[in-house]
Each structure stands twice: as structure tokens, then as C-alpha cells.
Structure 1
């Protein structure tokens, strides 16, 4: 059982039910104060919550005008990750789906209505997301840390695919890092749970992050584990090269992929990291090769997550 900040005693959160009261979440976020905001996105605003015993959690308040219905986002996250326990998947510690009476305006009149708030609570990860650590800080992460992150993301995705969950929104913003820079896959609002023996599905409602959407999903609405592999390839390329996939609001990552393919030669790698050699030089080369294989237009040519994990494990050495 989790212990409080002082140690020894159970934490407040561990003694509460998973279904957390809205008043409790308001209290620990100081009434959803702007000072507690960790980030905002199309699907909601993320706050830091501080329990009375000092324990921190992340509280995501789902947006009413989200691109996907709020109830669907809530259900996806709770059903798909509530019971998951893996080192590289963010832990959902609680949720809230509660109606409160509010006075709202309707057709020029004020009425009392039940307004439902939907919130999701996760373990707090102090290093923030991969996007920030790759592109928004002055000190570039060393290669060993970035390689550890790539391996961790792949291991987390292998776990999800093994239980038939397709994430559908892999990107640097949705990879969170703990105090030891261990990556955790987060944000399962778009995730899909496949039935037994099911390998792909089709949808008319294509929703995702520009620059990371697999072409067969973008243009045909086809979803499979290979959709995640495409996004993973871009994540690997960005983490390896520390170059941003700037799609300029275009849905395709074609220009970024072409740039990596054309520019990241052996000579370029050496020029970027002249002090790297041996194992680490090989790791960078293979990560770029795997990343480019993952973003093949033909999904059948993309490697499986099991193959990717095996190849990366084969590169690991005691010196890394």
C-alpha cells in the first residue's frame, strides 16, 4: 500500500475509493487554479493535485468541447487502462464522473441544470513529457537516456498490443517521464480495444494528431496495431535525431521522414556526436533504420512491435 509523504502511514489517496469525489479534486487543485495547470490540449486541461499529506497526483479535467465526446474519452481511458500495470504505461489512480447543479443560461432564461464533470487522475510524473524534454529545454538529453526512453516506449507498446489495445495517439506529448527518466505511455482517450482474433477495424471518424497519423487511418479510416507502429517510428526518429516532426499543420509527416532519410547518414551521425563510437554509434544507426521502417506507407512492410523490441534488446550492452 502506498505511504504518505512522511512515511509509515497510508496516503490519503490509497485510502480513498477509485471513484474520487469532485469536492476532493477541487480542494487538491485549489479549485482548479491556473497556478496548478500542467498543460492543456484539445481533450482537456491537466492540473497538479496536492493531497493533504503532500502526495502529488495529476488531474485531467476533460473538455466539454473536445473533438471526441467527453463521455467516450472518459470511458476509453477508464476501461482501457484502469487495470493496467506496466512500468512503461502511466497508472490511472482514480476518476470522477459527477453531476452538480449549476445555474446556466438557456434560450435567454436562467435554469438550474445538472452539469456533469469528468476527470481522470494519474500518478504524478515530475519530469513532464518527452516533447518538453526533447525540444523545450536548453540541455539536450544524452544518448544513453534517449535510448533508454526509446526502449521503454517500445516495451510499453508491446505490452498494450499483447492485450489488444491500440493507442492511436502516440506522440512526444503523450510520453511522460518519471524522476528516473523512465517513459510512461499516457493519454488513452483515442485508444481502441480489439476483440479476440480481431486485427483491424475501420472508422469514419478519423481523429488524431497531425503529423503522427498513419496514412491508412488518415485516408481510409483503417485501424490496426500497425497504425501505432507508424506513430512509434516518428517518435523513435524524433528521439534519436532530436529534430522535430514539424508538419506545419499538414496531416502527413512526409517532409520530416524525407529529411531524416536523406540527411542522417553515417557521416552525419559522426559529425553530430564525434565522441560516440562502438555500441552507441550502432544504436543510433539502428534506431534510425527501425524508425524509417516503421513509417513505410505500406503497413505490411512495417515491423511488429515484438521484432522492434528484440532488435533493440540485441543492441543493449553493459556499457550503455
Structure 2
């Protein structure tokens, strides 16, 4: 390039820089025009303007409304001249700035449960909201409303040669009014959801709005707290605080029985006899093995079989992938013992009744031989060493948590807990103690239904055998396992303890039992001996701080769910909660979340 060409390019470059400088100056003038309009229209607030040099955009912030001198909505308008775009957002704020749905209380307790529940609520709102969409920032946790900004005449705003048109001003005013009314309707409900106000403050704000602030505006409305949800909270509190270890009285049971017995219907017996196409269908090798238990090997294989409906009638053959459980050793009869337990759970008839159980408790329980909360098993009459079982989509609960813990909502966690409790209610009514409730023995279907499996350690209280000593899985085994009791000395409270550990770990993402040395040290395999000693002496501690732990979700629910778990972990089996009361609390929590969130 010669000297003349260099001078020519330099002149062009200077002209280009000059054009950019003029455009930038015009943009600032345009933004100042808009700021002055907003300042004159909303004289009680101040409009802040921030410039982003890199993106050639301007950020206008101003206050829309204040409630109680504390909570506010803050309008943010981002004007990008390079892309000629307008972006309107409204943020929930308080005296500290934008309200953040925090990610952590401390280094161990996660806040994702709260975010997921509020996200669920916003998704419900957005499905029918036409003016924009509520959101939670996935990184920083800010919560607000993103307004839809469809304006066919927005190009007039970016045309600096003309003054701002009246149509655009009208459009801006309509957006601001839309934001105020949209936020105001859901404001109290969302503040309650993120634990910024409790129920007492919620009702106090409602009274203030109705009697003072908006007394003369009869058309103004907001989303009130459901009356029936308040009754649910009161019932949860009453049940958890008042002698959970006692059964419901006959009068209480007649009132609450329909709630306790309500479940997903199923017509399949817990144990169904099948006929394989041929014996080779049950042949397996180590390539098909998917897991290994203490007394059996577990395989997965696609087999062809027919369901035996009656002695001489068979259903048409079908081809499906099933789980095959086989004894490890030649002399082992664990599979046979497990099949016998499942056969008991498959029995039907009114004559089946647990010993020393009040007659009124059977009014809302059917001995149908079918339970949707127990895994589906299949038996082969001429192969007592083999037990077949359905293979479920999410595998076991511990596998589900390891893969999807960050997106597993509080509703899903309580739903799974309720399913397990319902399964235990069914099992206990048949006189069976499971003795090995833990996440590995809870299977999860595609619809998130929990199914209890692995009855190899179970005790049939109607036919007790001392030949089968139960094993123990720390930390899910109850402290009485350390007392080396006889099988006839164990009670249904053993399963309640295991259920309490399972629910606690599911809700709070940690095990409740810790070593006495330090309250923040979780158990590990090297600590088993120490923990066993604490269980035997019944001096174990529970790592639980109610003031902090209740903040990870809706604080009222988490408070009483935490107390429920603590009661399940009582050293004295007689003081552990009754299974019907556990089910009622979990069911009411689910109903509350569905109504409020």
C-alpha cells in the first residue's frame, strides 16, 4: 500500500469514528429524553441511568411501588442501540436490593428445594400469562417478571432524527401499568413462598390492603392465601405436636380414614405366577448381571413368558425385560423365603387381621393382595430358586438421587416419602416387618412412583422363624438391632426408624445420625464401629438445626417435617410415630404444596 492509499484509508477511518461518536451522542440524548419523561410522569421516584460501553446499551432503573416501607418492585429497562432492542423486567426488591432466592444457607445446606418450588409456581402462572413471564435467575437467584415487548413502532424510538412519538410514550405507560398490576396480584404469595414473610405477616398485609391502602379501590385484587391450605397447616402442626406414637381414636379415624386410604388403584397381585416359554429363558451368565446382594445375584434379561391366570388357563405370551434374582449358593433358600413373604402380601380376604389391632382400623384398609407401592414380582412354580421382578425406569432411589438430586423438587421428595409410608402401611397390616428399608430397596418408576422391594430380611409376625436373622444396614437400621433381639421381639417401629432416616436424608441431603465427637462430621465406613456403640448405648445425636434447616424450603412445612423425622429416630420404639399419622402429615404437605405452589 503506497502513501496516497494510506492517507485515503486514514480519512475513511476518521469519518467512521466520527459517525460512531455522533450515533453515541444521539443515543445519550435519546435516553435522556426518555428519562425526563419517566421522571415527570413518576415524580415520586428517581430514574437511574447506567451505560454499558461494550454492548452500547443503557440500563434505566426506577422504583414502581413500595409495600410496608420494605418490599418494592424495581423496573429495569435495557435499551440496546446496536441491536435496536428494548428489554423490560421488574425485580422483587427490599432494602438490601434485589431479593435473592439464596442457593445456600451454609456450606452444607442447599437451597435448590426453594427455587424448584417457586419455579413450579411460575411455570403454572406463565402457562396462562399473556403479558410476559415470571422468572428466577438460575445463577444469581433473582426473581421477577419479564414483560413481553412487542411494539411494531419501536423503530421510531431509535430514529434520533425525530422526537419520541406519543404512541411510544403511551406504549411505555401501558407496560408500566401492566407490570404493576401483574406483580401486585402475585406479590404476597411469592414473598410467602420464598420465606420473606410468614402466614401472620401475609394476613396482616391483606388486612392493610383491604382496610387502608386500597380501601377505595374495590376492583383491585391480589392472590389471597387459600383458606383450606391454612387448615392443612394447622392439622400438620396438631398431628406432629400431639403424641404421634399413639393410634388415631375411632372418631378421628372415621374422619381421616378416607384421606389415609386414598391411593392409586391397581389390579395386579403383588406376586403373579408366570410360565416361561422354555427353561432357557431363565438361563443367565455374568454378562447379564446388574447387581449383587448379600445372598443373591441380580440379572436383567429379555424373556418370553405367559401369565398364569388360573390352574388351566394362561394369558397370551409376551416378551419383556425383567429382573431375575437367584440364590448365590446352592444351599441358600433366601429367594424362597422372600417369595413366601410376597405371597403373604398377595393374599386376599376379610379374615386377615393383625394381632391386637382395633377393628375400626380395618374399615379403610382392604386386604386386596394388590399394592401399587410394592414392586411387581413374578414366580415360576418349578423354579423356587428364581424370583422375577419388573425393572423400573429410574432404578433405585439412591441411584435417582445421585443423578437427579439438583432437579428433584420438594414435591417429588415428599411424594416418594408418602409412597414408601403407604407401602409400609400395607405391609404392616399384613403382619410383615420389612427390616431393611433404605434407598437401595426403593425402586422408582417412570411416573416417580416409589415401590418397596427386597423382602429377604422381612419377618412375618404371624409365622416367626428364628432361623433367619435380620441383617443391618447402617445408618438405616434401628438401634434395637444392636441388642441382638430374637425375631419375635422386633416390632413395626423398626421400619419407622428406617423410614425416618430415609425421609430425613431425602429432604435435607444428609444423614441425620452423626458421631458424638463432632456434630458436623457425617458417618463413613471407618466410623461404623463408633456409630454402632452409640446406637447400642442409645446416646446417638441427630444433626439438625431447626432455625437453619427450615429455610431450605417452605419454612412451616420443613419445620414440622424435620420434627416428624426426629420423632421417628426415637431410641425407644414405643415412642416412634404411628404409620397412619406419618401418612397424614406427608399427604397434607403434598396437598398444601399443590394448592399454594
TM-score per shorter chain, which class?
A: 0.7 to 0.9
Q: Distance in 2 between matches of 1:194 and 1:259?
A: 30
Is 1:282 aligned with 2:556?
yes
Quote the residue 1:93 is aligned against. Answer: 378
3-state SS of 1:209 partner: coil
For the 8 Å contact 2:327–2:333, the answer to whether it is kept is no
- TM-score, length-normalised on structure 1? 0.72
How many residues get paired?
269
Distance 1:96 1:128, change over 3 A: farther
1:159 Cα offset (Å): 1.2
Q: Distance in 2 between matches of 1:189 and 1:162?
A: 18
Quote the residue 2:24 is aligned against. Answer: none
For the 8 Å contact 2:501–2:511, the answer to whether it is kept is no
For the 8 Å contact 1:212–1:253, the answer to whether it is kept is no
Matches within 5 A, 1:124-273: 124-135=391-402, 139-195=406-462, 205-221=469-485, 222-244=489-511, 246=523, 248=525, 249-250=528-529, 252=532, 258-261=541-544, 264-270=545-551, 273=552
Quote the residue 1:46 is aligned against. Answer: 298
Distance 1:54 1:65, change over 3 A: closer
Q: CA RMSD in A?
A: 3.2
1:283 Cα offset (Å): 2.9
Distance 1:307 1:162, change over 3 A: same
Gaps of 5+ in 1: 1-16, 99-116
For the 8 Å contact 2:567–2:576, the answer to whether it is kept is yes
1:119-172 Cα shifts (integer Å, max 9, x gaps):
111122111001111235564522111111011111111111122111111111
Post-superposition, which runs of at least 4 consecutive aligned residues in structure 1 deviate over 6 A?
200-204
For the 8 Å contact 1:211–1:252, the answer to whether it is kept is no
3-state SS of 1:51 partner: strand
Distance 1:151 1:167, change over 3 A: same
Quote the residue 2:154 is aligned against. Answer: none
Distance 1:70 1:159, change over 3 A: closer
Gaps of 5+ in 2: 1-271, 305-317, 348-368, 513-522
**Counting helix residues as a fraction of each chain, which structure ranks higher?**
2
1:195 Cα offset (Å): 2.7
Q: Distance in 2 between matches of 1:203 and 1:290?
A: 35
- TM-score, length-normalised on structure 2? 0.41
1:184 Cα offset (Å): 0.5
Is 1:18 aligned with 2:282?
no
The range that moved more, 299-308 or 35-44, is 35-44
Q: Who wins on radius of gyration, i.e. which is larger?
A: 2
Quote the residue 1:27 is aligned against. Answer: 281
